[in-house]
Amino acid sequence: MKKNTMVVEMKDGKGFKKTVKKQKGYGLMEIMLGVAIVGVLGAAILPKGLQLKHDSEAKDNAGLVLQMFESLEVRWPDGPYAGLDNDWAIAAGLVPTAYVNGTNIENSYGFLPAFTGTTLTGGATNAAKQLTWPVAPEGCLVFTQQVSEGIDQITVGTTVVKTPTTSLDVAGATTACNVGTQSINVIMATR
């Protein structure tokens, strides 16, 4: 408490004067200690909150990619996919309107994904559908893990982290994701 005091003299029932000191407010040191405690707690909680936000965004993006691949499978079930591009995907209604910016697809990271026909490792030419989906480093690994269940082949940057015959290489994906903003190529074969 503050050291400044107010002196109040009172008479008790026997005629003696009593001095009572009343303290007002908080001192500078007490305020500084309170601010420091709040700062330490905030510094400990903020990074976790940001990571939860990035994880949520990555999961949403992965769900959107899988949804678009499922819609593509319904609208164009058999290859070859030589003519697959963003214009076709937008015109076919694969891409929710919130992600369409003119003739481009724009994901929630502000990057421009691209649909193409491609060749799956060991497969026939243009027999697979590919979507290049750029992600921020904070969401790269979560996105890759979330999308891996429904996708045949995944490349993060230049590192192949899943093939049709292997499961997701989490260590390889982690290393590739730590490089920075990455384009993740997700490829699905004809089902």
Q: Is residue 126 part of a domain?
A: yes
- 16 against 111, higher pLDDT: 111
**Taking residues 83-88, what's their average pLDDT?**
87
**Taking residues 168-186, what's their average pLDDT?**
85
Gap between the Cα atoms of 94 and 101, Å rounded: 14
- Write out pLDDT tens, residues 165-176: 889 999 999 998
Which of 81, 106, 82 shows the shortest CA–CA distance to 96? 106
Model confidence at 40: pLDDT above 70: yes
Q: Which helix (H) or strand (E) is 131 found in, with range?
A: strand 128-135
181 DSSP assignment:
S
Number of domains in the chain: 1
Which of 42-51, 98-107, 150-159 comes out lowest in average pLDDT? 42-51
pLDDT value, residue 170: 93
CA distances (Å), 176 to each of 20, 170, 173, 189, in order? 71, 10, 5, 23
pLDDT value, residue 124: 67
Q: Is residue 36 part of a domain?
A: no
- Write out pLDDT tens, residues 120-139: 666 666 678 888 888 888 88
Q: Which structure tokens are listed for 181?
A: 């903003």
Q: Is residue 46 part of a domain?
A: no
Gap between the Cα atoms of 166 and 21, Å rounded: 78
83 DSSP assignment:
T
pTM of the model: 0.68
Q: Is residue 155 part of a domain?
A: yes
> For the domain that residue 65 is a member of, what is the CATH number?
3.30.1690.10
Q: Is residue 48 part of a domain?
A: no
Range of 76's domain? 54-189
Q: Is residue 33 part of a domain?
A: no
Q: Is residue 21 part of a domain?
A: no
Q: Is residue 181 part of a domain?
A: yes
Which of 100, 184, 178 shows the shortest CA–CA distance to 144? 184
- Write out pLDDT tens, residues 24-39: 778 888 889 999 898 8
Contacts 24+ apart (CB under 8 A), 28-33: 30/1
